[in-house]
Amino acid sequence: MKQTEKLDLLLRELYKHKFDGHVHSLTQICEEKDLPIEPHNEVRLLAHRLIDDGFITGNFTLDDCLAEITSYGVEYCEDDSYTYKGSSLITNNYISISNSPNSNIVSESKNVTINFTNYSSIKGKISEIKDAINSATLDDETRTDLLDCLEEVETSIDAGKKPKFSMKQLIEIGANVSGITSLIVELSQLL
């Protein structure tokens, strides 16, 4: 993952807590978001960059930085990002795929059109996932949630758009359903 993506992710997480009046551990944010970082040295480097740019205030401990977003940071998140200059940071959501270096899914992006060269493979995988969901032993709520997410993914793909919330939700809900998890990962790799 690029440094600019890490900076964006840290800022976006701090943006979520912009008015709570608390400082937040950057190391903890990195752990919760499965950010591939070197121990405390990289956190310090990223924190110094955000402080130098005026987007956060930070207090350093031995192996962490306790940070809070500034007014300039809030404004930056709403108007720009390190990764996509001129695009609002708060509309770019990254999902890191555990144990898959350099594999990230960007969701909630605006006006993104994708030309799927493997459209038939994607549609086939969606059909396979639907069959697996319908044949799995699941409670009705989980089955409905999975099918709804999958339908949203399919609708986005049919429109030539990157799935927004639905792919992330599909991954989260399907994570504990044996036989479906691997199919969802295969679908995400096709996208």
Backbone angles phi, psi at 60, to 5 degrees: -90, 140
> Where are any strands of DSSP class E within the chain?
24-25, 56-60, 65-69, 93-96, 104-107
Single out the residue of 73, 65, 83, 78 nearest to residue 25, CA to CA: 65
Cα–Cα distance for residue pair 134/170, rounded to 1 Å: 15
Last residue of one domain, picked from the residues 47, 78, 109: 78
Instruction: Tell me which residue has tokens 């044949």.
Output: 135
What is residue 39's predicted lDDT score, i.e. its pLDDT?
64
Last residue of one domain, picked from the residues 26, 49, 78: 78
What is the 8-class DSSP label of residue 179?
T
Q: Is residue 21 part of a domain?
A: yes
Tokens of 172: 């989260």
Residues 7 and 74 reside in one and the same domain: yes
Q: Is residue 111 part of a domain?
A: no
Q: Is residue 179 part of a domain?
A: yes
Q: Is residue 70 part of a domain?
A: yes
* Contact assessment for residue 23 and residue 66, using Cβ atoms and an 8 Å cutoff: yes
Contacts of 172 (CB under 8 A, 6+ apart): none
Q: Is residue 173 part of a domain?
A: yes
Question: pLDDT 10s per residue in the chain (191 long)?
Answer: 788 888 888 998 999 998 898 999 999 998 888 788 876 688 999 999 999 999 999 999 988 899 999 999 988 888 877 776 776 666 644 444 444 444 444 444 444 445 556 778 888 888 998 998 888 888 888 889 889 888 888 888 887 777 767 788 888 888 877 788 888 888 888 87
Single out the residue of 132, 187, 179 nearest to residue 157, CA to CA: 187
Last residue of one domain, picked from the residues 19, 50, 78: 78
Identify the domain containing residue 135 by its residue range: 119-190
Q: Is 163 helix (H, G, I), strand (E, B) or coil?
A: coil
Our count of domains for the chain comes to: 2
Q: Is residue 114 part of a domain?
A: no
CATH for 20: 1.10.10.10
Q: Is residue 131 part of a domain?
A: yes
Q: Is residue 49 part of a domain?
A: yes
What is residue 1's predicted lDDT score, i.e. its pLDDT?
73
